[in-house]
Amino acid sequence: MDSHTVLYGVIGDPIRHSRSPVMLNRAFRAAGINGAYAAFHVTPERLGEAIRGIRALGFRGLNVTIPHKIEVMAYVDEIDEGARAIGAVNTIVNDDGKLVGYNTDGIGYVRSLKEEAEPELRGKKIVVVGTGGAARGIVWALAREKPASIALANRTAERAQALAESFSAEAQVSAIAWDALSEACAEADVVINTTSVGMSPDVEAVPVDPSWLRPGAVASDLIYNPLTTAFLRGAAERGCRIHGGLGMFVYQGAYAFEYWTGRPAPTDAMREAVLASFEPQHI
Ligand code: NAP
């Protein structure tokens, strides 16, 4: 670092578990960019001060994580169309003092799904299990790929209904009952777990029975700790193609890197840095 180093960071509460600094610092190094990225613990009552600090210190970019993704929208100058539709910002670009908010979670997920498991989503039948915060961005980004249908199921049915209603103008998005999942999974080309079921430490739990899926279909899980969940293991045994959550994490960061620097993200180096940050037992 020297007096030309351009600064970046991530804010959240909690934040010390974040692998973004390891991943983005590796990206700057691999791309030969004089940038530095750090994690900042910002509590909700200090969010406004933190954003004023970013402006005053001239940070070029910021990632925003739980619990600030919605509230931070009040502090930026402009919100990209996708982030506005999703209702959350996870990336801020500081353009000469003007802060622009984006959401790279959903598009990061879809880029990873297409590069790692299913290059063509047009015309596909997709089932999304869980409709929490992460699902919103994913459903928005999936809808832009023109699939045949997106069926949403959630333990709390009203949340699936609400999400389906917000995107039903853009694609065939509908809510289905939780107990209709086995039938929907049997017909689906892609089944995506966006719930936290199966996440460490409860690693043997599955959100849906993998035997419901059609062999050859894609089973996808947002969870990346563990890297291969019990749902994905079961789906692989059934003959499905599997797609874990690490790629979503890498590509949401890759889009942020590209928005900030205008350069293609060195995704292989980024993935390697995140993998190396895991304890050996998680790999
Ligand atoms: P969230 O807003 O808290 O939503 C949690 C979702 O899981 C809700 O739909 C919830 O249903 C459902 N759920 C929780 N426990 C359940 C259970 N026992 N049975 C059935 N459904 C259950 O969380 P989020 O931010 O969307 O995150 C969801 C998952 O995605 C987490 O595992 C997170 O680690 C992962 N994620 C990964 C990335 C990545 O980069 N790979 C990024 C973001 C999130 P109810 O509505 O009924 O409570």
Indicate whether residue 87 lines ligand 1 (CB < 6 A): no
Indicate whether residue 267 lines ligand 1 (CB < 6 A): no
In this structure, is residue 63 part of a structural domain? Answer: yes
**Mean pLDDT throughout 60-69?**
97
Q: What is the span of the domain harbouring residue 180? A: 106-244
Query: Is the pTM above the cut of 0.75?
Result: yes
Quick one: 240 and 111 in the same domain?
yes
Indicate whether residue 132 lines ligand 1 (CB < 6 A): yes
CA 88 to chain centre: 12
Phi-psi region of 58 (alpha: psi -120 to 50; beta: other; left: phi over 0): left
Which CATH number does the domain housing residue 239 bear? 3.40.50.720
Quick one: 147 and 224 in the same domain?
yes
Quick one: 120 and 162 in the same domain?
yes
Residue 196 CA, closest ligand 1 atom number: 32
Residue 252 CA, closest ligand 1 atom number: 40
Q: Kindly provide the residue ranges of all beta strands, DSSP E only, lying in the chain, ordered along the sequence.
A: 6-12, 35-41, 61-64, 78-79, 91-95, 98-102, 125-129, 149-153, 173-175, 190-193, 218-221, 241-243
The model's confidence at residue 94, banded by pLDDT at 50, 70 and 90, is very high
Nearest Cα residue to atom 18 of ligand 1: 197
Q: Based on the structure, what is the number of domains in the chain? A: 2
Q: Is 124 designated active site?
A: no
* Distance between Cα 130 and ligand 1 center (Å): 6
The model's confidence at residue 283, banded by pLDDT at 50, 70 and 90, is very low
Quick one: 39 and 93 in the same domain?
yes
Quick one: 128 and 236 in the same domain?
yes
Which CATH number does the domain housing residue 98 bear? 3.40.50.10860
Of 14, 17, 80, 37, nearest to 265 by C-alpha is: 37
Quick one: 113 and 84 in the same domain?
no
In this structure, is residue 215 part of a structural domain? Answer: yes
Quick one: 47 and 15 in the same domain?
yes
Mutation test of ligand 1: which of 18, 65, 127, 194 has the most ligand atoms closer than 8 Å to its C-beta?
Answer: 194
Amino acid present at 137: G
* Distance between Cα 36 and ligand 1 center (Å): 31
pLDDT of residue 279: 66
pLDDT tens-digit map of 17-55: 999 999 999 999 999 999 999 999 999 999 999 999 999
Quick one: 228 and 257 in the same domain?
no
